[in-house]
Amino acid sequence: MSRPRAQRRKKEPGDSPTMADLAKLAGVSAITVSRALRDSPLVNPETRAQIKALAERQGYMFNISARNLRLRRSMTVAVVVEMTPTIERQMSGPYPLDLLGGISQELTSSGYAVLLTSLQGGALPSVQAADGVILLGQGAHEDAMHQVRRWGRPMVVWGAVSRHESQVVVGSDNQRGGALAAERFMALGRRQPVFLGDAAHGEFAERLEGYGRALAGHGLSPLTPPVHGLTVSAGAAAVHALLDNQPQFDALFAASDLLAIGAIRALIERGRRVPEDVSVIGYDDTPLGATYLPPLSSVHQNFTDAGVLLARKILALIEGRPAQSEILPTNLVVRVT
């Protein structure tokens, strides 16, 4: 009947064969090939082995698009990252990469592909198509969150848990991190602690909260000089200003290693000894801090684990299982400062 119309591109000999091709070669039907390649128990083990061998021999390549179209899903999770490294708020250090590593590892082994995007330019269609979305980056993702929610896509966010009640958020235990710093200072007998970091930043606010609460238990409350930015120089500038105004302090907890290093630099420039005169603790336990002279004590978090957790949460949501926000433990790595 219907005469076959012109094909757009004749199947070239070099092309990878389709399941139908394999089926013909194996003398079975396409669906059997499909089942065999997916290790379905519905197919005879021998048949399966033969088909798999044949596929291998023929250089068969599975067509993901066809499956996704058929299944009405993309088997893809989009990871939205703030990648434009604004000078003042760079997503730098090993942190994002470790996070990505954990995510990718977990998702890949569950058969999902990881789509990396910054949600700028023409990224939208592929993010829309994703079965789920993971939001990384230091906040500023309010807009992205609304966008994704409007699409009705499952979503998991990395960041400050307390700030997004309605979202599934994975974050490290910033409050506990702050408390650890405070406890350390108390153990060292320090009595005039500083917190260095802009609390407008959600995670920083949590760190300050834990720090302040723990100090309050000892009848103390921290100085919180204004800090503008996240860089080494921002930290140095803030401490210089602080030394001008309120030079009486003997301990300093910075919301990031970068700020901590800036602080140390300023302190040394002004003739304060670290750690004799001022104890300093940073956050993130970056190689930068660890290799600094003096080596910086810092609150550590395991980003690879965090990535794995983010991945598990999004998988749960995609599969219709429930998922709650979760807080990862933090611990203090004591070095010299």
Q: How far is the CB of 61 from a second copy (least distance, A)?
A: 5
What angle is formed at CA 288 by the lines to CA 286 and CA 293, rounded to 5 degrees?
Answer: 125
Q: How far is the CB of 39 from a second copy (least distance, A)?
A: 13
Instruction: Residue 79: name its binding partner from a second copy, DNA, none (Cβ under 5 to 8 Å by kind).
Output: a second copy
Instruction: Residue 120: name its binding partner from a second copy, DNA, none (Cβ under 5 to 8 Å by kind).
Output: a second copy
Comparison of 192 and 304: residue with beta carbon closer to a second copy: 304
Which residues contribute to the site for a second copy (CB under 8 A)? 9, 61-66, 68-69, 72, 74, 79, 83-85, 90-94, 96-98, 100-101, 104-105, 108-111, 113-118, 120-123, 125-126, 128-129, 151, 232, 258, 261-262, 265, 268, 286-288, 291-293, 304
Taking the C-alpha atoms of 261, 265, 266 and 271 in order, what is their torsion angle to the nearest 10 degrees?
Answer: 140
Q: How far is the CB of 322 from a second copy (least distance, A)?
A: 20
Instruction: Residue 258: name its binding partner from a second copy, DNA, none (Cβ under 5 to 8 Å by kind).
Output: a second copy
Instruction: Residue 41: name its binding partner from a second copy, DNA, none (Cβ under 5 to 8 Å by kind).
Output: DNA
Comparison of 101 and 139: residue with beta carbon closer to a second copy: 101
Comparison of 187 and 293: residue with beta carbon closer to a second copy: 293
Q: How far is the CB of 260 from DNA (least distance, A)?
A: 51
Instruction: Residue 114: name its binding partner from DNA, a second copy, none (Cβ under 5 to 8 Å by kind).
Output: a second copy
Q: How far is the CB of 148 from a second copy (least distance, A)?
A: 13
Which residues contribute to the site for DNA (CB under 7 A)? 2-8, 11, 15, 18-20, 27-32, 34-35, 37-38, 41-45, 47, 62-63, 66-67, 69-72
Instruction: Residue 113: name its binding partner from DNA, a second copy, none (Cβ under 5 to 8 Å by kind).
Output: a second copy
Instruction: Residue 118: name its binding partner from DNA, a second copy, none (Cβ under 5 to 8 Å by kind).
Output: a second copy
C-alpha span between 169 and 264 (Å, rounded): 33
* Adjacency order of strands within the sheet including 193-196: 193-196, 251-254, 279-283, 297-300, 331-333
Comparison of 69 and 334: residue with beta carbon closer to DNA: 69
Instruction: Residue 117: name its binding partner from DNA, a second copy, none (Cβ under 5 to 8 Å by kind).
Output: a second copy
C-alpha span between 333 and 289 (Å, rounded): 11
Comparison of 49 and 268: residue with beta carbon closer to DNA: 49
In a 10 Å sphere around its CB, with 0-12 CB exposed, 13-18 middle and 19+ buried, how is residue 125 labelled? exposed
Distances from the Cα of 189 to the Cαs of 125, 173, 184, in angstroms? 57, 25, 9
Comparison of 2 and 324: residue with beta carbon closer to DNA: 2
Q: How far is the CB of 311 from DNA (least distance, A)?
A: 22
